[in-house]
Amino acid sequence: MINSPSLKAITFIATLKPSPADSSSEKIARDLAKELERYNISMEYVRAVDYTIAPGVEADMGDGDEWPMLREKILDADIFILSTPTWMGHMSSVAMRILERLDAELSDMDNKGRLLTFGKVAAVAVVGNEDGAHSIIADSFQALNDVGFTIPAQGATYWNGEAMHKTDYQDLDSIPEKVLQTNKTLAQNIAHLAGFLSQHNYPGEKDEQ
């Protein structure tokens, strides 16, 4: 594995519940983080609902908008992780708000014509008492990739219960074995890919000729 002593990850937790309420999407994010920390990746968490993230698709919507400060954290990190609950089969409105705000990244390039997200890796975590994870992973991969993130092999972890049941991830006695193994593989793949891309970004326009 590439030696990557100083990788940073930022995890956006998209629960609908403000702190300090318990949250399954926060729990799975922290379960994944335990595996990432084995690769010397430093972790930061943003529980998005605790911040004022204005509606809109500009990098700064003014008027108390806290996105610009959160955006700086994303641009400063090598790895972006979105952790969302499942509601009606979909990601939360808080997760969708985060993706909307990332849309502004399509308008900001470096001097090689690259988005500022190029060279960063994204991964996704999804929990729900009900079905929806595959679809949420699909929707979030597409949006995150569209704005410039690279998706490592098997770039997601998730858990949901049996159809029409009510169990929450945070109420399970322990991390299900399959989820634990998925987290281990995901962490290793994130570390490997981010280790490379953080040192060898996509070349951009200047190198294209």
Residues between 1 and 30 with contacts to a copy of itself, criterion CB under 8 A = 1-2, 16-18
The single residue listed with the structure tokens 């003014």 is 62
Question: Smallest gap, in angstroms, from Cβ of residue 117 to a copy of itself?
Answer: 7
Binding residue for a copy of itself (CB under 8 A) from 139, 183, 194, 198? Answer: 139
Omega prior to 20 cis, within 30 of 0: yes
Binding residue for a copy of itself (CB under 8 A) from 37, 40, 171, 178? Answer: 178
Binding residue for a copy of itself (CB under 8 A) from 96, 108, 109, 168? Answer: 96
Binding residue for a copy of itself (CB under 8 A) from 115, 125, 175, 194? Answer: 115
Token duo for residue 126: 């999804």
- Examine residue 100 and tell whether it contacts a copy of itself (CB under 8 A): yes
DSSP letters for 16-53: SSPTTS--HHHHHHHHHHHHHGGGT-EEEEEEGGGS--
Question: Smallest gap, in angstroms, from Cβ of residue 59 to a copy of itself?
Answer: 14
- Examine residue 93 and tell whether it contacts a copy of itself (CB under 8 A): yes
Binding residue for a copy of itself (CB under 8 A) from 117, 125, 183, 198? Answer: 117
How far the first Cα of the chain sits from its last, in Å, is 31
Give the DSSP H/E element, type plus range, for residue 10: strand 8-13
CA gap 90, 31 in Å, rounded: 22
Tell which positions 49-88 bind a copy of itself, by CB under 8 A: 49, 55-57, 87-88
Tell which positions 30-49 bind a copy of itself, by CB under 8 A: 49
CA-CA distances (angstroms) from residue 43 to 18, 29, 130?
20, 10, 28
Binding residue for a copy of itself (CB under 8 A) from 8, 59, 109, 135? Answer: 135
- Examine residue 173 and tell whether it contacts a copy of itself (CB under 8 A): no
Taking the CA atoms of the chain, what radius of gyration do you get in angstroms?
17
Side chain identity at residue 19, one-letter code? S
- Examine residue 131 and tell whether it contacts a copy of itself (CB under 8 A): yes
Question: Smallest gap, in angstroms, from Cβ of residue 52 to a copy of itself?
Answer: 12
